[in-house]
């Protein structure tokens, strides 16, 4: 069985995860596709809820077994991927599947699912604002902060390929717009 899919992409620090969490908390028709990753778990995260945290070897085994709809080595030795089993499980539950993935992975999902998927790009108001948000989060080392900002600048050039763009200038405004996007897509 195939259902609808809703994709949120945007640079690290754009606020897309906050928007996705809010939508999931307030709309029972939506459910999150839990990605697999090899990056270490943050203190605030739970295995099997935020991600399936697995080793690099396990990740590579699953690539070879064809278990991913898409996967990326987003940062060096930091693999992230969408499991086909997640999408199938959520469709069986009649849910609209929600993705929070990087831009490359997002475009791959769009290619795979076509019109079934609505692709939304969450845009920070500026690169400076993004830098400030990532610094405030205190989850990054100076090196990983630099890598994330560099990747973000590149990702911003992809916004035009998405079905919708939401500028996250204030969270309140971005959440309101995200709700309208969902309302137009999920009927």
Asked if 82 is part of the footprint of ligand 5GP (rule: CB under 6 A), the reply reads: yes
> How wide is the angle at C-alpha 108 spanned by C-alphas 103 and 111, nearest 5°?
130
Asked if 35 is part of the footprint of ligand 5GP (rule: CB under 6 A), the reply reads: yes
Q: In this chain, which of 20, 32, 72, 98 binds ligand 5GP, going by CB under 6 A?
A: 72
Asked if 39 is part of the footprint of ligand 5GP (rule: CB under 6 A), the reply reads: yes
In angstroms, rounded to a whole number, what is the distance separating the alpha carbons of residues 83 and 52? 10
How far lies 37's CA from each of 74, 132, 177, in Å? Answer: 10, 25, 29
User: How many residues in the shown chain lie near ligand 5GP by CB under 6 A?
Assistant: 13
Stretch that binds ligand 5GP, among 24-32, 75-83, 126-134, 167-175 (CB under 6 A): 75-83
Asked if 102 is part of the footprint of ligand 5GP (rule: CB under 6 A), the reply reads: yes
Q: In this chain, which of 95, 100, 121, 175 binds ligand 5GP, going by CB under 6 A?
A: 100
Stretch that binds ligand 5GP, among 24-32, 79-87, 158-166, 169-177 (CB under 6 A): 79-87
Instruction: Tell me the CB-side half-sphere exposure of residue 181, using CA atoms within 13 A.
Output: 27
Query: DSSP characters for 111-167?
Result: HHHGGGEEEEEEE-S-HHHHHHHHHHHT---HHHHHHHHHHHHHHGGGGGGSSEEEE
Q: Which residues bind ligand 5GP (CB under 6 A)?
A: 12, 35, 39, 70, 72, 74, 80-82, 100-102, 105
């Amino acid at each position: 069985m195939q259902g609808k899919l809703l994709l949120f992409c945007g640079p690290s620090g754009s606020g897309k995860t906050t928007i996705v969490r809010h939508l999931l908390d307030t709309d029972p028709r939506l459910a999150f596709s839990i990605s697999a990753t090899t990056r270490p778990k943050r203190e605030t995260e739970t295995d099997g809820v935020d991600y399936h945290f697995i080793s690099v070897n396990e990740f590579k085994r699953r690539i070879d077994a064809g278990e991913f709809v898409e996967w990326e080595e987003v940062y060096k030795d930091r693999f992230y991927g969408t499991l086909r089993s997640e999408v199938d499980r959520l469709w069986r539950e009649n849910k609209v599947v929600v993705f929070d993935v990087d831009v490359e992975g997002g475009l791959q999902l769009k290619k795979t699912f076509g019109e079934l998927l609505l692709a939304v790009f969450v845009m920070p108001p500026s690169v400076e604002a993004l830098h400030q948000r990532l610094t405030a989060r205190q989850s990054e080392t100076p090196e990983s902060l630099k890598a994330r900002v560099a990747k973000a600048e590149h990702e911003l050039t992809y916004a035009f390929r998405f079905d919708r763009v939401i500028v996250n200038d204030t969270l309140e405004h971005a959440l309101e717009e995200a709700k309208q996007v969902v309302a137009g897509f999920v009927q």
